[in-house]
Structure 1
Amino acid sequence: MQLLAEPAHREALTQISRGIERECLRITPQGKLAATEHPPALGAALTHPYITTDYAEMLMEFITPVAQSIDVTLQQLEDIHKYTYRHLGEDLLWPLSMPCFVGDVADIHIARYGSSHSGQMKTLYRKGLTQRYGGGMQIIAGVHYNFSVPQAIWEQLAAAENVTPDAHYISRRYFDLIRNYKRICWVIPYLFGASPAVCKSFLKHAEGDIEFKEHGKGTLYRPYSTSLRMSDLGYTNREQADLRITYNSVEEYIHGLRRAITTPSKEFGRLGIKVGGEYQQLNDNILQIENEFYSPIRPKRVARAGETPTQALERGGVEYIEVRALDVNPFSSIGITAEQIRLLDLLLMYCLLQPSPRLNLEQQHEADRNFNRVVLDGRNPQLTLLTEGYERPLADWLEELFADFQPIAAAFDAAHNSNDYQQTVANHYRAVLNPELTFSGQFMRILREENIDNGEFGMQLAAQYRDAMQQPLRYFSDAEFSEWTELSLKQQQDREQQDAGSSFDDFLTEYFRRAACASPECL
């Protein structure tokens, strides 16, 4: 940190590249899932670069381009929201991670991407998820934070180690970061978990044996929970615990993932692949594809046409990391704030600069247990976490981490000629001292003090944020959005015409042949 804080080097801290992926449900003014298709005026969900859908047709996903300015990223995300609202009609955007009222499972429509082979595969993958985990899992929303260390920092760190900052070195250091992140990622649901309560209707569509208390007419909660989205109510795959996927090197990680997409599952095998001539899932393996591996962080590289995620990593190494543990922030009209981004910057830089011993499977499971404790009971002042088999007070660990964040924040502020990062540490330190100042604590305080249900709170915010979005665009232009819309529709049409007359079965066979192969000849 001292090296990066030197005047000759500190500018590199301003060159971090970031991107946001924010998911949110389209809902009716009555607070139910929207039954309409993805608005055609927003372009093709298959090919639009910034406005798409996630697992369900009504689960929208907004993606910002890569930028090095936090303000620019947030302006981009805000403009995407504004433009979307112009084409939603009466629909609203649900501002919480856990869904609004959920009636029948038939109300949850799997996302559709057209008749091209790639479009059919995306839809079939989601159908497989529904078969495996239930439809309720398809309507949970989160925020993903993409973070890329600039080349200038890699050069400084490599010079200090007297090595070359090549792709192998960068991948090794990203995996150092990932292991340390696994050790302390419970900090994210502690501070930013914002799903301590759920609508009772959701439990009809989810599995789990979590004990709840009841508030109002239809809200279930746990007294100290932070992020039920990240609990067993969210995406889980019990068979994944046996995959032995580790984070000690990019090679080990790729090997584990590739094994998972080629290993048959007894449980999912009972579903069948084709039943009565109709596909039920892409395959009957533990993972249909690599994206089904649920992890609070992923190493990533932008894939070329025809590449799987692991093949992209094999080709060029890690390019950035994706933090996947963030709930939608209900206190922001766009689901995330500049303060959150700055805190994530500090946490990730801490993870990069700390020594990072190898993480064996038992240590990895210990870290997972810590994460789950915080998800379910993180605001309990008496909560302890495991470290090398010993119980340690969560509050004590937080104190140590925030002390370590302080010099990193000072270096960031020196680079940006501001006090924003140190102020972020100070502001969130209040939540270290008082767990009720966390997002989840504020959330539950509002429900209690205003005597409202989870759904009422969400509807109030949805209406408030819709009104806030009736403003001119600040970063993008209407002409740009129109161009992206038209281009995405044309690109989808081109794909469909190209694939017309060819076999979808043959397409899948070839895709999985290539996905299972590590040799360059496969491509």
Structure 2
Amino acid sequence: MLNQQLSTKHITGGTFGLERETLRVTAEGYLSHTLHPFPDDEHIVKDFCENQAEINTGVHDTAQGVLKELQEQSDRLNNELKKHREIIWLYSNPPYILSEDDIPIALYEGDQQGKHSYRLYLAEKYGKYKMTLSGIHVNYSLSEQLLSSAFSQSDLNDYTEYKNAAYLRLAEGMTEYGWILNLLLSASPICDGSFFNPRRTGETVITDYASLRCGMNGYWNDFTPILQYDSILAYAESIQKYLDSGALAGVGELYYPIRLKPKGANRLNNLVQNGVNHIELRNIDINPFSETGMDVRDLEFIELLCIWIFAVYRDRLTEADQLRSVENFKTAALFDIDSAILLTRNEQQVSVREAGLRVLSRMTDYYIGNEKALDLLSYQQNKLQTPDARYAVQVIDAFGDKYVRSGLTLFR
């Protein structure tokens, strides 16, 4: 185990970057049919469809700082949308969808034409409707002070080699425990009936999931990738084999909740040559009760989780472990967390709620003496001890009978 005093000393030294996916919606709750309003802006780009924007922040050394920029960029987008009587949709699940024509694939021309072709491929493979599910991707880098101090205690002589190994351990541990983010942050249990059938437009559907996009029929590949964590080269090669076989058309098609990424272009050769820069966590719902789509306490909890896993996780995942872990992610996205059952490493069955409380208890023991960390953990524990504190429960209570109309009212 990493020296506990060392890891908690550098608790606030990591850096954050956020990517928020969002749909552009008319004042009546229908998907927009105007062109993307920021064609040459690195902070507000097109995602899968022309009416789906992705808001990207820069890198910040505090959760407050990155959320402040996310709000500023969101305001900039909203101010432009007002000119066309449009708004940013505040949920992970889409509003009214009249047909597939409501989901126009993002337009690209010239030397970017390949991006349009790639999206045509995704639409054919996964269906357009699934691509409207939106969330927040958290990109997090461990504190350089923490990494360099831990490196000085290690047996390795090369810092880049150590840093890669540290992130591989973090990614492996997050594969084991990252389902807890589904449990604690899911906020999309309801959707409009048109997501399932155009004839059900205007009908609010309460699903079996606290997070539809993270559940069994959400944003997943049609196979379960098995990744290697022995070295950064082995990790890259385990992804490359799916590219070579045609199972994936590109690295971006790896719809896995955890990805290791380099600085700059997201290419495997860049990752191998230059090493890991950050971990990307992709299983975060948009929180409609937060102006930015994410509560600062949840983002700070993610940092606590990353540091705890980095400090204590030393297990190795077999292929069977990885298959089990992916199923746990989907199970933890269910709404009924008492009936939903996780399978632990020793094949013990435990309810999702109990499993979450166990992880939070272990984290609490680790962070004893750190008042801020304990407050953050208490906030998460309350979601499991007080059912009404869960975002998914609050969404149903507040918007469950008139999903789209309530969403429009919330925005106003």
Bigger mean CA deviation after superposition, 345-354 or 368-377: 368-377
- Give the equivalent residue in structure 2 for 1:107: 102
Alignment CA distance shift 1:368-1:2 (3 Å): closer
Deviation at 1:409, TM superposition (A): 4.6
Amino acid aligned to 2:54: E
Question: 1:290 and 2:251 equivalent?
Answer: yes
Report what 2:330 is aligned to: 372
Query: Structure 1 residues 87 and 158 mapped into 2: Cα distance closer, same or farther (>3 Å)?
Result: same
Give runs of aligned pairs for residues 144-183 of structure 1, distance below 5 A: 144-164=137-157, 166-183=159-176
In structure 1, C-alpha distance between the alignment counterparts of 2:154 and 2:281, rounded to whole Å: 27
Letter in 2 for 1:55: F
Structure 1 residues 397 and 97: CA distance shift in structure 2, 3 A: same
Inter-partner Cα distance in structure 2 for 1:165 and 1:252: 18
- Equivalent residue pairs, number: 408
The answer to whether structure 1 residue 221 and structure 2 residue 203 are counterparts is no
Report the equivalent of 2:406: 457
Q: Once the 2 structures are TM-superposed, how far is the Cα of residue 247 of structure 1 from its aligned partner?
A: 3.6
Aligned match of 2:282:
324
Q: Distance in 1 between matches of 2:379 and 2:219?
A: 31
Distance in 2 between residues matched to 1:366 and 1:227, nearest whole Å: 19
Structure 2 residue runs without a partner (length 5+): none
Q: Which residue of 2 aligns with 1:5?
A: 5
Instruction: Specify the alignment match of 2:320 in structure 1.
Output: 362
Q: AA paired with 2:411?
A: A
Mapped partners of 2:257, 2:300: distance in 1? 18
Say yes or no: does 1:127 pair with 2:143: no
What are the Cα deviations for residues 367-400 of structure 1, in whole angstroms up to 9, with x where unaligned?
11111112124x3324331112221233332222
TM (norm. structure 2) is 0.92
Identity %: 24
The DSSP-based 3-state class of the residue aligned with 1:112 is coil
Please give the secondary structure, in 2, of the residue aligned with 1:356.
coil
Which stretch of the first structure deviates more once superposed, 93-102 or 351-360?
Answer: 351-360
Q: Distance in 2 between matches of 1:171 and 1:139?
A: 34
Q: Name 1:281's counterpart in structure 2.
A: none
d(CA) in 1 for partners of 2:115, 2:97? 24
Q: Which amino acid is the alignment partner of residue 362 of structure 2?
A: D
SS at match of 2:33: coil
One-letter amino acid matched to 1:459: L
The structure 2 residue matched to 1:430, chosen from 382, 385, 398, is 382
Question: Could you report, residue by residue, the CA deviation over 1:274-322 in whole angstroms, capped at 9, with x for unpaired residues?
Answer: xxxxxxxxxxx22111110110010000235xxx521111111111100
Matched, 1:439 2:391: yes
Per-residue CA distance 1:395-435 (angstroms, 9 max, x = gap)? 33222221222255556x5xxxxx54322211221112133
Q: So what's the TM-score if we normalise by structure 1?
A: 0.74
**Does the CA-based 8 Å contact 1:297-1:322 persist in structure 2?**
yes
Q: How far 1:257 moved relative to its partner?
A: 1.4
Give the SS at the match of 1:144. strand
In the alignment, what sits opposite 1:493?
Answer: none
How far residue 459 of structure 1 moved from its aligned partner, in angstroms, is 1.5
> Is 1:235 the counterpart of 2:235 in the alignment?
no
CA separation of 1:165 and 1:400: change in aligned 2, threshold 3 A:
farther
Q: 2 CA distance for matches of 1:255 and 1:2?
A: 29
CA distance in 1, matches of 2:296, 2:337: 27
- Alignment of 1:299 with 2:257, yes or no, is no
- In the other structure, the counterpart of 2:340 is 383
Structure 1 unaligned segments of length 5 or more: list them: 206-213, 264-284, 414-418, 464-523
CA distance in 2, matches of 1:103, 1:246: 42
Alignment CA distance shift 1:355-1:185 (3 Å): closer
- 1:371 and 1:10, CA in 2 relative to 1: closer, same or farther beyond 3 A? closer
Q: CA deviation at 1:43?
A: 4.2
Shift of residue 331, structure 1, vs aligned partner: 0.9
CA distance in 1 between partners of 2:98 and 2:228 (Å): 39
- Aligned mates of 1:191, 1:13 — CA distance in 2: 21
Alignment of 1:24-423 (within 5 A): 24-39=22-37, 42-44=38-40, 48-88=41-81, 89=83, 90-115=85-110, 117=111, 119-164=112-157, 166-204=159-197, 218-222=203-207, 225-238=209-222, 240-241=223-224, 243-263=225-245, 285-304=246-265, 309-377=267-335, 379-387=336-344, 388-406=346-364, 409=367, 413=370, 419-423=371-375
Task: From the CA coordinates, give the structure whose radius of gyration is larger.
Answer: 1
Letter in 2 for 1:37: L
Is contact 1:56–1:108 with CA below 8 Å preserved after alignment? yes
Distance in 1 separating the partners of 2:11 and 2:294: 21
Could you give the per-residue CA deviations for residues 455-482 of structure 1, whole angstroms, max 9, x where no partner exists?
122222222xxxxxxxxxxxxxxxxxxx
